[in-house]
Structure formats: C-alpha cells, structure tokens
Structure 1
Amino acid sequence: MGGHDGGMDTSPTPTTDDAVGALLTAAAPPTPPIATERAAGLARAVAQDVVESDRTLAGRARRLRRRHKVAAAGAAAAIVLVPTGAWAAEHFLAQTGRFGNPVANPDFEDRSEFINLCAKDFPAYVRTLAPTDLPAAPGKTWDGYAAGLAEQWAAGAGCAPSAQADMQSTSLRLDLLAAASADWGCALVWATEDGRTAQARTARTAMLDLDAAARRLATIEGSVGTQDPDTFLANSRLPQWVGCPR
C-alpha cells in the first residue's frame, strides 16, 4: 500500500472484469442524447408513412371500386340504350332497340325496330323516315307529313307522362307513303276532271313509285296502304265517294 501526502488511498481496487468494462467504455464513442430522440422520430416517421401509404392504397382502392361501379353501370346502360351500331348512330329516345320477330309473329311483325310513339323526340325521329327521294304531293312537304302523322300517332296512343306505346318503323314508313299516295290520288282526280293531261300523268307516276316503295318495305300482305292510280280514279267516280274535296 502506498499513500500520498500521508493519507491512505481508500478507493476500491478494480477487479479484472471492471477493468475490461472500463476499457470498453473508454474505447466506445460517447452516445449523444439526441440519438435516442432521432431514433424515436424516425420510428414515428416510418409509422406515419405506413399509415399514409395504407390510407393512399385504401383511397385508391375506393376510387377503383367507384370507377368499376361507374364502368359497370355504363356498360349496363350501353346494353340497354345502345344495343346496335345503327341505334348508336341515330340516338333517338324514340328508338327502343327492340326488333320484331317475324318467325314468332309472321302475320304481325317484320324485323324492323319498335319505336316509342310517346318519346319526346318521336316527331324528329319520324322526319328521318320520310322518303325524300320521292316527290311529296302538290302543296305538301315530307316534314309536314311527318309532323302531322307523328301528332296523330301519339294522340291515338293516348300518350301520357312516362307512357310508352310502340309501333314498328316499317309501319311508320308505310303510313308516310300511304298519306302521300292518297294526296297524289286526289291530284290525279282533279287533273283528270280538269283535263290537265300532264299533271294527271305526273300524279299517276308518283302514285306508282310510292306503291312500289311500299311493296318493297312491306312483308305482310295487305299492309302497304298505298293506292293504285286506276283503282283510286275508279273509286272516285262511285256515288259514295267522299274523298278529295276541292
């Protein structure tokens, strides 16, 4: 034992293990207090990123689900509203996208589309059916025929809000041709009575052309509605005839 300044050294003598620990402690770099805070902050940041990532994925999933629902609804609407390319090109509310079945109903239906007489754009649709390559009767226009017949058809169907009454497009076309044929028949009667040969010949030709167009459309016998000029002229001479007032 030794002393300094006459006093005794009372500090404990380190053991071998304590000496090794002291050496390791002395050799290790000091750990600053901020390291613990930085680690905690990093952990919080990682946790926040995970939460935000989860929220983002959940949000994307919700958006994808919504988008899928909209797409599915759009596809369903497309099936209902746009069943054919022709329908899509026309895009009238009056068009139902349903077509006749002549196999099931041979005496009543052809393959043409069913048209809703009560649709708000029905008159506009009827104008597209007018045979504008054929002449309208004197003093008449195809737009006039379309408007008048559309009004008659809708009135006859008793259309009310949200109501629907269907007729095949072939029948609509035939009625347009029949209306013009009757007016040309009256033109034939008047021209014949007045001795106007050229006008009578024009009326006769127009009636034949309208009748031929109707027969190309009609697949059901007796449904053409157009008039033969000679038959029309003969009927006009019968006592019970009430048509063609001047």
Structure 2
Amino acid sequence: MNDHDELGALLTASAPPAPDHAPAASLSLTVAREVVAADRGLQGRVRGLRRRHKVATAFTAAAIVLVPTGAFAAQHFLAQTGTYGNPALNGEFEDGSERINICAKDFADYVATLAPSTIQAAPGHSWQEYAEVTARSYAQEGGCTGTNQGLVQETMLRTQLLTMASGDWGCSLVWAGEDHDRSAASTARAAMVGLDSEARRLSPQEGTVGTWDPDGFLRISKDPKFVGCER
C-alpha cells in the first residue's frame, strides 16, 4: 500500500467536523495524531512523539511520593510537581521540562497557561478550547483513580497545543485556496510556520513534534480521499 492509500484509509475513516467546538477540536487532535503518520516522510517524527507520550504516561502510580521543596512550594498549580526530566540519563524519552500531574484537579487550568502568546489560534477555535481537549485526552488515558499520579512533561503539553492549532490552520489554508483568498492564505501560512518553529524550539529532538509545514499539508490535502477539512 502506498502513502496515499494509507492516508486515504485514515481520512475516510474520520468523521467530518461537528458544528460545536469540542468535537471539532477532537477531530483536530485525531488529524494531528493519526493522519500525519500516513505521510512516510513524517512517520519517524510521529513515532517519536508517541513513544515519548507512552513513556510519560507510564509513570502513573499510586506509590509516587513527592517531597515539596522551596521551588515546588512556589508553584501556582497542584498539577506542577516540581520535578524535572533528566535528558542526560534518558535523552530519548525526556527533556528537562517539568513533569506535570495529569490527575491533578487543576490540570486543565494549568494546560491553558501553556498556549503561546504570540500566535493566534486558528479561526473558529481558541487556545482555551485546545487546552480543554488536550487535558481531557491525557486525563482519560492516565487512569486517574484514587491517589494515582500520571505524569507528562510540560513540553509534550505545549507541543500538543501547537499540533492541534497547526492542523486547523492547515484547513484554513486549504479553504483560502478554494476561495482564492490570498490574504487568508498568507495569514494561515505565517501561522503554520510560526507554530512549527515554536514546536521545534521547544522540542528540537527529531521525532517529537507533529506540527505541519504549509506545503506539506497542502500536498496531503490534494489526495482525492482527504476529508479532514470538510466545511
């Protein structure tokens, strides 16, 4: 099966965006996680993203005991653990960013603080929306019951937000082309480039970001079976 066949199979299985924001954002998350993998040129990047995600959530355990330090006590959210990854010991799976407890009651509020301040969310969406969907997806996967803690690094959360926005901006780019709207196309391109640059700044290790290059997104969207950007 070639790349386009794989892509078509994935996209045909995707449901068209729903009119309310939460399902639409969930679709963005699906596009970011699954559809990108159909392009073999990006497959290694996505595989690395999933590998780091798997290891991060594998920290879930009731036995985790954290001793508050001065730095930890100064944090504003219960989701912040005050502990950090050590890339020198486990560079393939973690960086030096803080480990965040996905089971904390203020996890969603914390994720909302991670949205970039210099890049707008895609039209029809908001960073708050992306944060809520991201927090919900991690909490559901983390098996948060009792006193369990599920840990994911801050960098993963930040790049997740960027990835979702990148997919939606990609659709805006597609629609701008259909409408022959050069101004909208230019805005979408600039946003996608900015999101990709920010994701790579946060996580320069190859295989850890899932944001889109504008031309790459356009290339994939031209597949006859592509349904990811239906209006």
TM-score by length of 2: 0.68
Alignment of 1:140 with 2:89, yes or no, is: no
Q: 1:164 aligns with which of 140, 145, 149?
A: 149
Alignment of 1:173 with 2:163, yes or no, is: no
Q: Quote how far apart the aligned CAs of 1:89 are.
A: 3.7
The whole-number CA distance in structure 2 between the counterparts of 1:112 and 1:188 is 32
The whole-number CA distance in structure 1 between the counterparts of 2:136 and 2:104 is 12
Alpha-carbon distance change, 118 to 139 in structure 1, aligned in 2, over 3 angstroms: same
Counterpart for residue 229 of structure 2: 244
Counterpart for residue 211 of structure 1: 196
The whole-number CA distance in structure 2 between the counterparts of 1:88 and 1:232 is 44
Contact 1:108 1:220 in 2 (8 A): no
Q: Quote how far apart the aligned CAs of 1:81 are.
A: 2.1
Q: Which amino acid aligns with 1:220?
A: Q
Q: Deviations over 1:105-158 (max 9, x none)?
A: 111110001101111010111111111221110011111111121111111222
RMSD: 1.4
Instruction: Report which structure shows greater RCO (CA 8 Å, sep ≥6).
Output: 2
Residue 90 of structure 2 aligns to a residue whose secondary structure is coil
Q: Which amino acid aligns with 1:161?
A: G
Q: 1:126 aligns with which of 111, 128, 145?
A: 111
Q: 2:68 aligns with which of 61, 64, 81?
A: 81
Q: Quote how far apart the aligned CAs of 1:83 are.
A: 4.8
Q: Quote how far apart the aligned CAs of 1:184 are.
A: 0.3
Q: Quote how far apart the aligned CAs of 1:98 are.
A: 1.3
- After TM superposition, the structure 1 = structure 2 runs for residues 31-50 of structure 1, keeping only pairs within 5 Å, are none
Q: Which amino acid aligns with 1:199?
A: A
Residue 167 of structure 1 aligns to a residue whose secondary structure is strand
Residue 184 of structure 1 aligns to a residue whose secondary structure is helix
Counterpart for residue 135 of structure 2: 150
Structure 1: stretches of 5+ with no match in the other structure: 1-78
Bigger radius of gyration among the two: 1
Alignment of 1:193 with 2:184, yes or no, is: no
What percentage of aligned pairs have identical amino acids? 54
Alignment of 1:222 with 2:207, yes or no, is: yes
Residue 129 of structure 1 aligns to a residue whose secondary structure is coil
The whole-number CA distance in structure 2 between the counterparts of 1:183 and 1:93 is 31
Counterpart for residue 15 of structure 2: none
